[in-house]
Amino acid sequence: MIKSLEIYVILFMVYSVIGWIMEVVLGLIEKHKFVNRGFLIGSYCPIYGFGSVAITILLGNFMKTINDVSLADSIWISSIVIICICGTLEYFTSYIMEKMFHARWWDYKNYRFNINGRICLETLVPFTVIGQLILRFASPTIINVLTNLPALLLHILAGAIVILIIIDVSVSYNIIHSFKKISNEAKDNTEEITKKVKEIISKTWRGRRLVSAFPNVDVIKKRIKQTVEEGKEKIERKKKEIEDLIEKKQRNKE
């Protein structure tokens, strides 16, 4: 039982890293620049890990009992299940993160056959193809390799991964939550806003990495910059009003 759990933990990290690489490659193709995607500091995307492990576990027994089922039928049946797994996971991940941070890390509203902009057919189809490769080739191969590893090595790898993820989630959540809070509190205290933003963005590479991955970060930065400029203008106007008032009083005395 423990060995199986450790294998799935390692499998989760393997697919999370592969998912991050896929996102980076896609960013290079679409935007012609490196885009460090993801909510966490580390170079991995957990949604890919959860989805891949879910496919492996939920359809693993099905793959063992398809001897009497044709290849076409097995692909058709497993594809429906994969679409349901990927669609459900992506939809609720988008929903939960939006509720937590009031921002979307992806939005498919401009795509055809989408549901609330959270999932769409255009992305579910390639995910299904990838899911089939995971189910039939990748997972059996990786699990076979992990099964033959020494028990101590499995303990160390799985334990290190769990500790890493716990620390990463805690730190990443605090940074993103702080940035979201600042972006929502862009009011009159421009010095305090600027100070807090610099603390998050400038001091550590972790802050810069997560803020750069935050949805609509350019819009938020522009909003904060505009607020700072408006604050400066407001101060200048107040200063001018005070100077005019002092000058007027001096003239009255004369």
Using the predicted structure, report yes or no on whether residue 3 has a pLDDT greater than 80. yes
Helix residue ranges, H only, 32-150: 46-64, 71-101, 121-133, 139-147
Residue 73 lies in a domain: yes
Q: Provide the percentage of residues in the chain whose pLDDT is more than 70.
A: 73
Q: Does residue 160 sit within a domain?
A: no
> Which of 113, 148, 183 is the last residue in one of the domains?
148
Task: Tell whether 108 and 193 lie within a shared domain.
Answer: no
In-domain check, residue 189: yes
Structural domain for 101, as ranges: 2-148
Per-residue model confidence as pLDDT tens digits over 17-60: 999 999 889 888 887 877 777 778 788 999 999 999 999 999 98
For residues 190 and 224, membership in a common domain is answered with yes
Asked if 81 and 156 count as a contact pair (C-beta separation under 8 A), the reply is: no
- 52 found inside a domain: yes
- Please report the pLDDT score of residue 39 as a whole number: 74
Kindly report the average pLDDT of the chain as a whole number: 80
Confidence category of residue 168, pLDDT binned at 50, 70, 90: confident
Buried b (16+ CB within 10 A) or exposed e, 161-196: beeebeebeebbeebbebbbebbeebeeebeebbeb
Read off the pLDDT of residues 189-213 as tens digits, 9 standing for 90 and up. Answer: 444 444 454 455 445 555 555 555 5
Domain assignment present for residue 158? The answer is no
138/247 same-domain check: no
* Total tally of structural domains belonging to the chain: 2
